[in-house]
Amino acid sequence: MKIIETIEEVRQEITKARTAGQSVGFVPTMGYLHEGHVSLIKSARKKHDIVIVSIFVNPLQFGPNEDLDRYPRDLKRDEQLAKEEGTDLIFYPSVTEMYPEKMPMTIHVTKGVDVLCGASRPGHFDGVATVVMKLLQIIQPDEAFFGQKDAQQLAVIINMVEAFNIPVIITACPTIREEDGLAKSSRNVYLTEEERLEAPLLYETLTYGADLIQSGERARTKILKILTERLQEGSGKLDYIDVLRYPSLETTEEIQGKAILAVAYYYKNARLIDNYIVEV
C-alpha cells in the first residue's frame, strides 16, 4: 500500500492503472476510520482492481464555531485499517496541497441544503460539494463509495454529479451500526458513559417512525409530533427531526414514494446524526 501526499503523484499512479486497463474504486474520508469506512473499502475492493482511500479533514465544511481542530485524527491507525482491507493507495494531502491559495471559486449548492443539517450549518454543503468535486477530478474514479449515514451529503453529491455530468458511479452503502443500533461515527468517542447508553434512542425513534409510515400513517406533522415527544425522553437537546422526500429532500405534508426520516441530536460534547430510508 502506498501513501501519497501530492496531487501530481496520485495522478501518476492513476495513469499507470488506466494504462494497464484497471478500474478504480474510490472511498473519500476525513480519516479516523471505523467500521463504516471499512465497509465502504470492502465494497470497493470487491468491485475494482485499484482501491484508493483519501484522508482529508476539509476545512471548507466546518463553520467558525465548529470542531475542526478537535476532529479526531489517527493516521497510523487509519493506515493499518486501510491496509488490512486491501487498500492500494491512500491519498493524504495537506490543506495547502488541496487549497494552495484562497479558492477563487467554490460550488454553491442551491437544492436540498435549507433542511436537516443544512438549516443550521450555512455553507457546510458548499464546502462538501467543493472538496468532493476536487477529489473526483483528481482521482477520476469509475465508482465512488459513500455511507448512507450521511444521507443529506449523499443526496447533494448525487445531485452534483448529475448536474455537472461527472462520469462516475456514486454508490450508497448501508449505515454500519453498533449492536444496540447506534450508528458508527467518529464523534461517538465524545459521548459520556451515560450518553452512550442512551444514544440508541435515536435509531429506535427512527425505526418507530418508519413503522408508523408503513402501518399507514402519512401525515408528516403528526409523525413529527410523535417522534419529537419520544426524543424528549433523552437527556440531550434535539436539533431536528424531519421526514422528507429522498433524494430530492423536498417537504411534503403527505408522505409518499421514497422518504427519509432524519434526526440530529446534541449531547454535551457531540452532535449525532442518523437517518432511515422508507418506501411507501
Cell digits for 175? Answer: 449505515
Q: Which of 176, 170, 167 is nearest to 153 (CA)?
A: 170
The CA R_g of the chain, rounded to the nearest whole Å, is: 19
Annotated binding site: 30-37, 61, 147-150, 153, 176, 184-187
For 23: left if phi > 0, alpha if psi spans -120 to 50, otherwise beta; the answer is beta
Half-sphere exposure of 21 (CA within 13 A, CB side): 0
Cell digits for 60? Answer: 471548507
Q: What angle do CA 162, 163, 164 make, to 5 degrees?
A: 95
Q: Which of 6, 22, 255 is nearest to 14 (CA)?
A: 22
Pairing of strands 169-173, 143-147: parallel
Cell digits for 20? Answer: 494497464
- 153-175: b or e for each residue (b if 16 or more CB lie within 10 Å)? bbbbbebbbeeeebebebebbeb
Residues that are catalytic: 37
Annotated binding site for (R)-pantoate: 61, 153
Annotated binding site for beta-alanine: 61
Look at the block and give the residue holding cell 471499512. Answer: 38
**Beta bridge partners of residue 144, listed in sequence order:** 26, 170
Distance separating alpha carbons of residues 197 and 199, to the nearest angstrom: 6
Cell digits for 80? Answer: 493499518
Cβ atoms of 276 and 260 within 8 Å: the answer is yes
